[in-house]
Amino acid sequence: MENLKPSLSIRNVSKTYANGVQALKNITLTIPNGMYGLLGPNGAGKSTLMRMLATLQEPDEGSIKLGAIDVLYQKEEVRQTLGYLPQEFGVYPKATAEELLDYFAVLKGITTRAARKEVIESLLKQTNLWDKRKQKLGGFSGGMKQRFGVAVALLGNPKLLIVDEPTAGLDPAERVRFMNLLSELGENSVVILSTHIVEDVSELCTNMAIINKGEILLEAQPQQAVAALKGRVWRKLTEKSALPELEQEHQVISAKLLSGRTMVHIYSPETPGSDFELVEPDLEDVYFSTMTGNYVQPQRVEEVLV
């Protein structure tokens, strides 16, 4: 039943906005089944790509296929199988969760009242909002609103779910709850998670890409990418004032404040000196070393592993 979980193929996609900003530069990506993380800083081009996948925006060049469906030319077919949770969405503050979900269910074409009742109950339970169904959306917390957004996006059983920066602005407890919900969804459909938060990807995604300034810098499986950095990341606790000198001598991948001092991570295939300590790398090291141009190219990841 391959077409139940189609993979997404993005080929040579470019987009320049009217103001001259080149938001996507010849992007080619294959997004398989499961949870996929698109990781990059603000302004990288993530939302532009997500809106294209959701058929809300056209590229200047390139092609996008969802299984056998041509996303750019068969928009209606895509919309029937797609759930999209945009970065920002409005809710009617005076409506209750149940009322608004019922309204959207009608728009989705679930016309019989009994069918809607069943779908709405199941979605509100799945998103942990069943107890809150009679509450007005205006009083919902950020996390509750996001989960309500997921309930709306899941109407009609989408095979592809796109969530754009879903955890930005959530407090830690809400974030954990939301991530748990997403991971359950990833078991049954293709979920693309766009985010600038490394932990979102490391905790959930089986595949990922790192995007910056409209370009894909790395396509990898998070665990493999981390493994490929083993033995190459070193750290040193130092003063902030020592940073310029360290940057001259080493390939600094990150510098973080730690109890008033600065924890520096560097990339080095060889021992950089006795005052450095070898680090067990994590996805943050992969992210920062990719962003600083130190990380091995994706085609070399497998070579490093064998």
Q: Which residues bind ligand ADP (CB under 6 A)?
A: 17, 19, 21, 23, 40, 42-48
Q: Sign (positive/negative) of CA torsion 283, 259, 268, 306?
A: negative
Nearer to ligand ADP, 99 or 215 (CB): 215
For residues 27 and 155, what is the distance between their CA atoms, to the nearest angstrom?
30
Helix axes 113-126, 142-153, angle to 10 degrees: 140
Backbone angles phi, psi at 63, to 5 degrees: -135, 150
CB of 192 to ligand ADP, least distance (A): 13
Nearer to ligand ADP, 40 or 143 (CB): 40
Q: Are strands 61-66 and 8-16 parallel, antiparallel or unpaired?
A: antiparallel
Cβ at position 186, least distance to ligand ADP in Å: 21
Strands (E), 32-122: 35-39, 61-66, 69-70, 82-85
Contact 102, 125 (CB under 8 A): no
For ligand ADP, which is the closer residue by CB, 17 or 92?
Answer: 17
45 vs 298, which CB is nearer to ligand ADP? 45
Q: Give the single-character DSSP code of 42.
A: T
Residue with smaller CB distance to ligand ADP, 34 or 43 = 43
3-state DSSP percent of the chain in helix, strand and coil, to 5: 40, 25, 35
Nearer to ligand ADP, 100 or 162 (CB): 162
Q: How far is the CB of 292 from ligand ADP (least distance, A)?
A: 18
How far is 217 from 139, CA to CA, in rounded Å? 41
Question: Nearest distance from residue 8's CB to ligand ADP, in Å?
Answer: 18
Least CB distance from residue 166 to ligand ADP, whole Å?
A: 12
The encoded tokens of residue 293 equal 């141009």
